[in-house]
Amino acid sequence: MGCAGKLSSADRILKLLFLLLQSSANVSILVMVMISCSLEKGNASEAHYHTLPLTSMLPPLVCNPTTSKGPGRKASMKVVHRFGPCSARGGDSPTMTEILLLDQSRVESIQARLRSISLGKNNLNSESVDLPAVNPNPGGVGNYIVTVGLGTPAKDVELAFDTGSHLTWTQCEPCAVECYQQRLPRFNPAASTTYSNLNCNSQACSQLEAATNLPGQCEDSTATCSYQTSYLDGSHSIGELATDRLTLTSTDVVDGFIFGCGQNNSLISGVEYGGLMGLGTASLSIVSQTSQQFGNYFSYCLPTPTGSDGHLTFGKNSANANNLNYTPFLKDKVGYYYIEILGISVNGQPLSISPEVFQIPGTIIDSGTVITRLPTPAYTALRDAFKQHMTMYPEVVLQQPQLKKLFDTCYDFTNYPNPTIPDISFTFGGNLEVHLDPRGVMAPLNNGGSAVCLAFSYSTDGGIFGNYQQQTFDVVYDVAGGQLGFASGGCS
């Protein structure tokens, strides 16, 4: 069994791999062929193709927790995918189609902000930026959930964490106006001995506008400061700005933590978690508030929807330290965590994309956006190269107009339980190359294999590196050091 003339024809070798792949008994032969051919090309250290069992993309029935946090992760909390097997939510989970339609509202909000920034409106407090009518906070699905303790004695609160938001808020009793259904009891400030409202003359009240795009609402300087935050999808939270004890782990406690105690709340994207943890860059974010304790440093590993649990960790840790490489955050950018994309490779071959394509208005990394959005020329190059390596699979044309706008590269894997897909890697600033986990390359739009799409879409207003492509990595935000790190195998 040869290598098709040392891989002189990509189509010939792909068809060979494809035929071998359809029989599970031939998987070991397939691996040997791939390694042998790679050695002949002098690329033994690079895996350009991935065999991806379709079952690894579809919802499992049981939770198998595998996270081993180890001694290097002290201030570390378990993270679960909101619709994964380890989630405590009840009822049926939405399909990927439903998730992605909700995700689009978040993307539109972020892109509006990026568009404002590209026009030179870099000051979030500038009167020239039309907020919040045009640029409300990013909403979205809230895929990843963490449980913390709030108050004294501590009561469990489930929060979706978000690097694109700043203020942490949760629903509170007595729920004076409106609250949505959540799995755990709402936080009761009257039952906490350490709870306190903040007045309108407090420094935190003056910092609200930078965190929520809306100033604190005050009758006079001695009144309790009221916050409000709204999202493009129609979600909102309105309530009292307050402080209380935040318990991250049994040994990591934050006294006087500033958060929003919501009395009027609506969450369009779901009804089970109790609020939002803001991991953004503003002074009221949990990252800034705990900077003296944890050094403006946090990391997470996002489990796949079919995987088990991940982690959210504050402070430096030794886990994956030898496997960690960094790219610098871009300076002079506000509101989000900006990174530089230098290039994209498919099957080990760099795509012909000018680096300038990624520069205006820039690319952010975001834990709340699901699917990565790329500037249109970059997406087109990625799509075309990907299609060249997928000619053996039947293509699917989506019929739903909203989805058709997002995805134009879909395949029917109904009769192909072990599809083979090309490796995709990103090169970031500092020449950091990150090979995506193959489960972060394609997304099934339902619970079968009839429509599995390339998990990227185009953007005309800046790029967003989404959470689907971040899955399984240890993603490290060294905010103080001005750099972002990636390490493979972050959830184990």
Give me the active site residues, please.
162, 366
Q: Yes or no: say if 472 and 308 are a contact pair by the CB < 8 Å rule.
A: no
Burial string for 461-479 (b: 16+ CB within 10 Å, else e) reads: bbbbbbbbbbbbbbbbbbb
Backbone conformation region of residue 335, classed left if phi is above 0, alpha if psi is from -120 to 50, else beta: left
> How far apart (Å, rounded) are the C-alpha atoms in residues 252 and 245?
11
Measured CA to CA, the distance from residue 258 to residue 303 in angstroms comes to 29
C-alpha distances (whole Å) from 378 to each of 109, 228, 387, 460 are 21, 37, 14, 11
Helix residue ranges per DSSP H, 8-73? 10-21, 27-41
DSSP assignments along 57-117, one per residue: GS--SS--------TT-SEEEEEEETTSTT----SPPPPHHHHHHHHHHHHHHHHHHHHHH
**Identity at 340, one-letter amino acid code:** E
Q: How far apart are CA 356 and CA 435, in angstroms?
A: 22
What are 374's strand-pairing partners? 458
